Amino acid sequence: MGMKTYTINGIMVIEFDETLDYYDFYVSGGKSDLVSVDFQFLLSSLESGEVEWEESLRDQVRLMSRWIHEAPRKRGFRDMIRQGITVASAEHFFEQDGGEEIIDAFERTGHLAVKILGAYGVKPVGKIKHNDPITPTSTEEILGG
């Protein structure tokens, strides 16, 4: 148990620590969902060819890449809230105990997603514009569509 190495698309060697948590987070229809990402399954399936790199998978991995920007942003806002600063947003900043570990897991997810995208020559998403602090950014806005 620990570090595993996968070769993706025949060119990209990715090291993956299976002892760590990797999370993604969605808001849909007013409901939020914190989900564990099974990168071990994804990486082994991509390496073996069991899973084909197609548009919906590419978009899903691109969505996960947002965490390279969003995790540090959420961490910053979370720190501001802990200092007593009011943050005008309906976003989840994971203020409860264990929140920092959740945000760390988001950031790991983002970095791993960027590596997977790199194996296929796909760029990760850029920084997300948060124009409305109440309404979550849509998937189309995040992917640039």
d(CA 22, CA 19): 10
Q: What is the pTM of this model?
A: 0.85
- Kindly state the DSSP code that residue 51 receives in the 8-state scheme: S
Q: For residues 65 and 131, which has the higher predicted lDDT (pLDDT)?
A: 65
Alpha-carbon separation of residue 6 from 24, 43, 55, 121, 141 (angstroms): 21, 7, 21, 17, 31
Q: Residue holding tokens 């082994």?
A: 44
CB contact set of 68 (below 8 Å; sequence gap of 6+): 107, 110, 111, 113, 114, 124
Q: What is the mean pLDDT of residues 2-10?
A: 93
Q: What DSSP element (H or E) covers 88?
A: none
Q: Residue holding tokens 């998978």?
A: 57
d(CA 126, CA 97): 29
**Looking at residue 130, what is its pLDDT?**
63
Q: Residue holding tokens 């569509």?
A: 145
Q: For residues 80 and 9, which has the higher predicted lDDT (pLDDT)?
A: 9
Is 93 a residue whose pLDDT tops 80? no
Confidence of residue 141 (pLDDT cuts 50, 70, 90): low
21 has which bridge partners?
Answer: none
d(CA 8, CA 1): 20
Is 83 a residue whose pLDDT tops 90? no
Residue 61 burial (CB count, 10 A):
24
**Looking at residue 104, what is its pLDDT?**
95
- Helix residue ranges, H only, 1-145: 39-48, 55-65, 67-82, 99-119, 139-143
100-110 pLDDT per residue, tens: 899 999 999 99
Mean of all residue pLDDT scores within the chain: 86
Q: What is the mean pLDDT of residues 3-18?
A: 93
Is 11 a residue whose pLDDT tops 60? yes
Q: What is the mean pLDDT of residues 51-65?
A: 94
